[in-house]
């Protein structure tokens, strides 16, 4: 049985450790040594399983893939979990990060021609691929072939699901006109204003479809003028932290950022992929659950949140984060 005493532990190694007390929870502020004084203005966040404390100067709010392709009504995206996450970010997380001096990182798909030409088939499949019926009515695929046969049909990630009707909807509910593979032409789209624009090639850099969803793009533009300017980092996989060293990891290490607050879409794909790779590389991982969204079934979100809270790190909300910032500023 517990004797009621407050117990303290150091978890990790000298270069990367946490401290824990039964009274105060986890300290993720990363002082120079376990005996060093606590960070003067640490940020306390109430997570779902325990209180945690972070150092704002070593923390980043990572917003993943909140791009037109995933959120814009011009692509037929109806309001859903991703838009609710957008609201939570704009109302709570982004203003709080700015007040606390937490770095904001916009981590987005942004492919180059080389990325597309060297992309593994498993990653390409996730965004559909294009196929064309030959004289024997069998399906063949290949970039050079489709340059000469632009009328190929989209095929979804579950196999050969032929289009039916003018809308070319795939059996998984995705529009075959745009799910024809990374780097494929998305065609023209009509904006809510009635203006028609070229959406560009799927998730390629500097295209309309890969641009931030307008309400968040406005926040990003404002953030460029903040005391600690927002940063935009391209990624070329679902995870922005895969492999030996991505641009995101290089930035984090250069800036001394150790603690990551994860938000964005989709919770169970790009967000969780980046989070789990970050976990394996030794970063502190905190999922702000209401700042994330997905179109997958609810159990997919529940699985990620369960593991994020009990294995990979911690789960809190954008409002919890904002409340911690408010408390920190009022105490200073």
Residue-wise pLDDT for 285-309, tens only, equals: 999 999 999 999 999 999 999 999 9
CATH T-level assignment (fold) for domain 51-110+210-331: Rossmann fold (3.40.50)
Question: For residue 132, what pLDDT is reported?
Answer: 65
Question: For residue 135, what pLDDT is reported?
Answer: 53
- What percentage of the chain exceeds 90 in pLDDT? 76
Q: How many CB atoms lie within 10 A of CB 132?
A: 17
Is the pLDDT at 246 greater than 70? The verdict is: yes
User: What's the predicted TM-score (pTM) here?
Assistant: 0.89
Nearest alpha carbon to residue 44 among 27, 32, 60: 27
Q: Break the chain into its structural domains and give their ranges.
A: 8-46, 51-110+210-331, 115-198
Nearest alpha carbon to residue 94 among 82, 81, 80, 105: 105
Q: Which of 120-129, 199-208, 280-289 has the lowest mean pLDDT?
A: 120-129
Residue 17 three-state SS: strand
pLDDT band at 165 (very low <50, low <70, confident <90, very high): very low
Mean pLDDT across the chain: 88
Is the pLDDT at 17 greater than 50? The verdict is: yes
Rounded CA separation 293/84 (Å): 7
């Amino acid at each position: 049985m517990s004797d009621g005493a407050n117990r303290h532990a150091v978890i990790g190694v000298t270069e990367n450790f946490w401290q824990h007390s039964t009274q105060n929870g986890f300290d993720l502020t990363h002082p120079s040594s376990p005996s060093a004084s606590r960070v003067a203005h640490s940020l306390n966040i109430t997570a779902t399983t325990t209180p945690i404390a972070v150092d704002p100067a070593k923390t980043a709010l990572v917003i993943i893939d909140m791009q037109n392709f995933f959120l814009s009504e011009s692509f037929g995206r109806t309001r859903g979990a991703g838009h609710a996450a957008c609201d939570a970010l704009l109302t709570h997380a982004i203003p709080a990060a700015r007040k606390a001096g937490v770095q904001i990182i916009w981590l987005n798909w942004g492919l180059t021609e080389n990325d597309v030409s060297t992309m593994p088939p498993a990653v390409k499949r996730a965004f559909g691929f294009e196929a064309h019926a030959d004289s024997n009515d069998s399906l063949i695929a290949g970039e050079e072939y489709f340059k000469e046969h632009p009328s190929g049909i989209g095929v979804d990630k579950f196999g050969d699901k032929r289009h039916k009707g003018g809308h070319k909807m795939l059996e998984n509910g995705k529009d075959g006109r745009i799910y024809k593979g990374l780097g494929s032409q998305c065609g023209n789209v009509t904006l809510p204003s009635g203006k028609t624009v070229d959406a560009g090639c799927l998730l390629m850099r500097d295209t309309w479809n890969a641009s931030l969803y307008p309400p968040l793009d406005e926040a990003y533009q404002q953030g460029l003028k903040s005391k600690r300017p927002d940063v935009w980092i391209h990624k070329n996989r679902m995870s922005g932290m895969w492999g030996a060293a991505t641009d995101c990891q290089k930035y984090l290490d250069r800036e001394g950022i150790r603690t990551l607050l994860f938000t964005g879409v989709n919770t169970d794909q790009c967000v969780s992929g980046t989070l789990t790779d970050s976990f394996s590389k030794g970063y502190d991982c905190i999922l702000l659950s209401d700042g994330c969204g997905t179109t997958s079934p609810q159990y997919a979100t529940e699985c990620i949140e369960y593991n994020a809270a009990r294995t990979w790190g911690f789960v809190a909300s954008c409002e919890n984060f904002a409340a911690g910032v408010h408390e920190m500023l009022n105490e200073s």
